[in-house]
Amino acid sequence: MTAVTAAAAEQTGPVVGTPYGAVRGRYEKGIAVFRGIPYAAPPFGSRRFRPPVPPEPWTGVRDALAFGPTPPKPPYSDAFAKLLSDPVVPGDDCLNLNVWTPEPGPGARLPVMVWLHGGALTRGSSAVPVYDGHAFARDGVVLVSVNYRLGVEGYGLFPDAPANPGLRDQLAALRWVHESIAAFGGDPDRITLFGQSAGAISIGALLAAPQAQGLVRRAVLQSGPPEAFDRDKVRRMVRRMATRLKVPATAEAFAAVDRELLLRTQADVGRLSSPVLGGPGFGIVIDGELVPRDPLEALVDGQVARDVDLLLGWTRDEYRLWLVPGGLHERVDRLGAVALAGAMARCHCGVEVPRGYRALHPAAGTAETVGQLVTDHLLRYPLHRLADARPGNSHLYEFAWPSNLPDLGSCHALELGFVFDTGDIPEAAKLAGEGAPQELADTMHAAWVRFAVDGDPGWRAWDDSHPVQIFGEGAPYVADGPRDPEFALWAADTATREPAVPVVGTPARGAVELRSVARRLRRTGNVPKSS
């Protein structure tokens, strides 16, 4: 591009063709940015609760200058809104994506990273400021971020509609990227899918989906394992909503309900669920088609995505985002042994597991023991199993830098400002506090870029020594098997499968006690479903 044409492009904005029409973006700090590009038609009217279909083609050049509409979602409670940003952009055309690229136009063949946001499959969007893709494009990566249907719209389970429409949205977006990204300077053969929490869980399902084979070269799962949700828990959410709405639990009936009323009802019913306490919720379910079997088992068996490089990890204190903001942390501490019994019920484990945690961490309070116990069961141990099944092309990390805000520690979602190198914006400081170390952001962000480029983030691949890169205070370092003692407890428990013996009362009583505390807190609006 000559100096004259480059200057003209700066004035008019870059124009790129897509399968459905041309789009015009804008240059921001030397990076071409395209926002709100539709990859599927609006999922409303006759398309509500149905699989996505292609958007209507357009003539001329469509402006892609602002974030597109966000999918319907309830707001966070006040306690969580202080920590997590979740912008709302009104409109129906919510199945859209954004692209940041340093070199728009065919021929560049740059590595591509596709971001799937978290939010418990009920909240979040690609418009969250922390997810700005400028730093990735600055460092030679084409960054794509995606909106997908959430909550009952995306993961409600109905007898008259296909399951998992939100996951089908993600697959449609991934196919769009594979077909279209070369025009934006990306290489469709070097796509890295990365996401956090619900986004990581979604990636696990996509890696195992027959329809997604060959679309992804690498994947990053941050604080979310491959899993399939209990269908009965999703049905209970839908049935409870139907009872409150006084309509049948069908897609046809729900489609006739006012959208805002549906969101309020979903939020109300969803207050009885959380990662630590369990309960009904929305999640990806086995559907016999897109999700033919449990994704973790499919990936561990090696039947799918055999050649996909994996970067897997977690934060040291995931549970603190779930327990601290609403005050549940202190309540669990006071419940003591009853809370431990509830955690055993949640994890379906025997008494030797919590006893082992007590022995390994004698100074830990009950809330910390419960939080780490549940986190390991739901998140860390499954990722550990996945790495064990795929040594050589798996890398693991732990994020251990503590937030500058009181009691949050190295909580769930704290690493995101470091991965995106957006720690200097106010939205990142909501969770990290002021003064987050730029050196740590430089190191983490560079590791994610390196992984997208060649599959090597900069430390040893997984082997029998179980190397884990620790991103904490001071220089990052590799620790061998830092959580092996805890994982050995889970492996032994899985092997024996002895009935759980409560420390006090019964596991059922413990679960009831914990949920009773949570309900009291949620009546005040302090403990919503986590991110």
Residue 6 forms part of a structural domain: no
What global pTM score does this model have? 0.93
210 is written with which tokens?
A: 């027959």
| 137-to-99, 104, 225, 511 alpha-carbon distances in Å | 9, 11, 27, 47
For the segment 395-450, what is each residue's pLDDT rounded down to a tens digit? 999 999 999 999 999 999 999 999 999 999 999 999 999 999 999 999 999 999 99
Give the residue, 518 or 378, on which the prediction is more confident: 378
Confidence of residue 528 (pLDDT cuts 50, 70, 90): very low
Residue 196 forms part of a structural domain: yes
Task: Classify residue 214 as left (phi > 0), alpha (psi -120 to 50) or beta.
Answer: left
Among the listed residues 77, 85, 125, 197, the single catalytic one is 197
Residue 76 forms part of a structural domain: yes
Query: What does the pLDDT read at residue 51?
Result: 98
The two most distant CA atoms of the chain are separated, in Å, by 78
Q: Tell how many helices (H) and how many strands (E) occur in the chain.
A: 21, 14
Residue 36 forms part of a structural domain: yes
Q: What is the DSSP string of 265-283?
A: HHHHHHTT-BTTTB-S---
What distance in Å separates the CA atoms of residue 284 and residue 300, rounded to the nearest whole number? 18
Query: Closest Cα to residue 218, out of 366, 114, 368?
Result: 114
For the segment 327-360, what is each residue's pLDDT rounded down to a tens digit? 889 989 888 888 888 899 889 999 999 999 999 9
For the segment 452-462, what is each residue's pLDDT rounded down to a tens digit? 999 999 999 99
Confidence of residue 10 (pLDDT cuts 50, 70, 90): low
- Tokens 């084409």 map to which residue? 142
Residue 28 forms part of a structural domain: yes
| Strand arrangement, sheet containing 394-399 | 26-28, 31-38, 96-101, 142-146, 110-116, 186-196, 218-222, 309-315, 394-399, 467-471, 477-480
Residue 119 contacts residue 201 (beta carbons within 8 Å): no
Query: What does the pLDDT read at residue 1?
Result: 43
For the segment 53-70, what is each residue's pLDDT rounded down to a tens digit? 999 999 999 999 999 999
What distance in Å separates the CA atoms of residue 98 and residue 114, rounded to the nearest whole number? 10
* Alpha helices per DSSP H over 271-336: 295-301, 320-323, 328-335
Which residue segment(s) compose the domain that 332 sits in? 15-522
Query: Closest Cα to residue 526, out of 325, 272, 279, 273?
Result: 325
- The one-character DSSP state at 52 is -
Among the listed residues 178, 329, 412, 466, the single catalytic one is 412
- The one-character DSSP state at 99 is E
Residue 509 forms part of a structural domain: yes
Query: Active-site residue 289, yes or no?
Result: no
What distance in Å separates the CA atoms of residue 370 and residue 343, rounded to the nearest whole number? 6
What distance in Å separates the CA atoms of residue 142 and residue 32, rounded to the nearest whole number? 10
What distance in Å separates the CA atoms of residue 296 and residue 315, rounded to the nearest whole number? 20
What distance in Å separates the CA atoms of residue 524 and residue 314, rounded to the nearest whole number? 30
Query: Closest Cα to residue 71, out of 33, 115, 38, 22?
Result: 38
89 is written with which tokens?
A: 């952009």
CATH at residue 70? 3.40.50.1820
Q: 110-116 and 142-146 as β-strands: parallel, antiparallel, unpaired?
A: parallel
Residue 295 forms part of a structural domain: yes
- Tokens 């009965």 map to which residue? 232
Number of domains comprising the chain: 1
Q: What three-state secondary structure class fits 315?
A: strand
* Alpha helices per DSSP H over 77-223: 78-81, 134-138, 151-155, 165-180, 198-208
CA 164 to chain centre: 16
Among the listed residues 318, 398, 427, 486, the single catalytic one is 318
Residue 5 forms part of a structural domain: no
Among 22-31, 244-253, 349-358, 501-510, which stretch is predicted with the lowest mean pLDDT?
Answer: 501-510
Neighbours of 11 (CB within 10 A): 7
For the segment 397-412, what is each residue's pLDDT rounded down to a tens digit? 999 999 999 999 999 9
The pair phi, psi for residue 22, each rounded to 5°, is: -85, 150
Query: Active-site residue 197, yes or no?
Result: yes
What distance in Å separates the CA atoms of residue 345 and residue 127, rounded to the nearest whole number? 38
Query: Active-site residue 125, yes or no?
Result: no
39 is written with which tokens?
A: 């990859």
